[in-house]
């Protein structure tokens, strides 16, 4: 791999960053809200699944 001049590298990085299509403020806000809502739903689901499995294991172990 050939060494590259740091100045050239930074120029290329700047060129590539200018090609990026950045999301609008509204898109970022909506995406953030969606992520928070989905994390809350997933947390609730796993809490309920954990409680159910814990209850079933406790029920199975208490049978003699």
- What is the C-alpha end-to-end distance of the chain, expressed in Å? 69
Task: Give this prediction's pTM.
Answer: 0.65
- DSSP secondary structure letter of residue 23: P
Q: Tell me the per-residue pLDDT of 25-57, one tens digit each, with 9 for 90 and over.
A: 999 999 999 999 999 999 999 999 999 999 999
Integer Cα distance of 29 and 39 in angstroms: 15
Copy the structure tokens of residue 17: 């960053």
Integer Cα distance of 51 and 64 in angstroms: 22
More confident residue, 45 or 63: 45
């Amino acid at each position: 791999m050939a060494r590259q001049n740091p100045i050239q590298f930074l120029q290329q990085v700047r060129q590539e960053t200018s090609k990026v299509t950045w999301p609008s403020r509204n898109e970022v806000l909506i995406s953030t809200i969606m992520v928070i809502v989905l994390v809350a739903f997933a947390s609730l689901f796993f809490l309920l699944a954990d409680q159910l499995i814990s209850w079933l294991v406790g029920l199975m172990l208490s049978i003699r």
